[in-house]
Amino acid sequence: MDTLVAKYSRSPYEDEFYSEQQQREMTECLPPLSLKFDLPPIENPSAFLRAMTDDHANPNAPIKLAHGTTTLAFRFKDGIIVATDSRATAGNWIASQTVKKVIPVSRLDLVTDKPQDAPVPGLLGTMAGGAADCQYWLRYLAEQCTLHEIRHKRRITVAAASKILANLTYAYKGMGLSMGTMLAGVTPQEGPALYYIDSDGTRLSGNLFCVGSGQTFAYGVLDAEYRYDLSTEEALELAKRSILAATHRDAYSGGYINLYHVREEGWVHHGFMDTDPIFWKTKLEKGEFTNVTADV
């Protein structure tokens, strides 16, 4: 590090044929140098990246950073519940604890003087896989949906939006995309509609989906307690507990619980909640997570 700093802190004219006085005068005319360097947040970056391959001994093996998350969505009688965690990982390194993995996909009505808790018209998309791939293609999909709504003067259906995204990802199949997303919305033509789309071009419609490394733990809670006739309060609580179970057991999931309720009028955000107080409240009130024995 000292060698690196010395290299960039010396005068750029030292290698030229200038006298010391000339070097000093020319250096004083330059803006001050900033010795702040953006460095990787790990001790040995090359060793870290070398471990993230299929063959550690092969110097030409492509780097494959493991991604982890937990996202879920399910239909019920009053709409659709969408919930995610907020942890982003690159291999065994936690890159962020505050990623917002739910992205609004289309909203033709952009009135800004509505109450804070008023529904926002449009569809919601979730992120799982590579964050850059998901963010880019969901925002591109939002552009296409907005153009559709401007041309036809009505909201796009969830089926049509999901078909656009599936066609896009299929065109790039085998090129390294990493996506597993869900599209949720309620339209007059379809009612509550939920679709799963991935980077292979797969497109599925269903009542309940979980995507990500923590999906098996979330499915364990959802499969046991999911019913179509859940009340809104019960549905929100079920989604919260499902994400909580995944963050407790899956090392690649964690951070906060992001909760949404999608209705025909639009979606409503129900909070970006820290998992820690929810965990202890659930443990004390419901007697769950009995493997944790720490005093509270």
List, for residues 105-114, the tens digit of each pLDDT value: 876 555 555 6
- Please state the pTM of the whole predicted model: 0.78
CATH of domain 71-286: 3.60.20.10
208-219: per-residue pLDDT in tens? 999 999 999 999
The answer to whether the CB of 186 falls within 8 A of the CB of 192 is: yes
Distance of CA 81 to the CA centre of its chain: 17
User: Which tokens hold the place of 140?
Assistant: 């591109």
Distance CA 88, CA 52 (A): 16
Beta strands in 169-233 (DSSP E): 180-187, 191-198, 203-205, 208-211
Helices and strands (H, E) in the chain, number of each type: 8, 12
Contacts within 8 Å (CB) and 24+ apart, 7-16: 8/33, 8/35, 9/33, 9/35
143-198: per-residue pLDDT in tens? 999 999 899 988 899 999 999 999 999 999 888 888 999 999 999 898 999 999 99
User: Measured between alpha carbons, how far is residue 275 from residues 48, 98, 99, 184, 246 in Å?
Assistant: 29, 12, 14, 24, 11
Closest by Cα among 74, 285, 69 to 178: 69
Which of left, alpha, beta for 131 (phi over 0: left; psi -120 to 50: alpha)?
A: alpha
- Domain boundary assignment for the chain: 71-286
Closest by Cα among 127, 143, 123 to 135: 127
**DSSP letter (8 states) at residue 91:** T
- Residue positions annotated with a catalytic role: 69
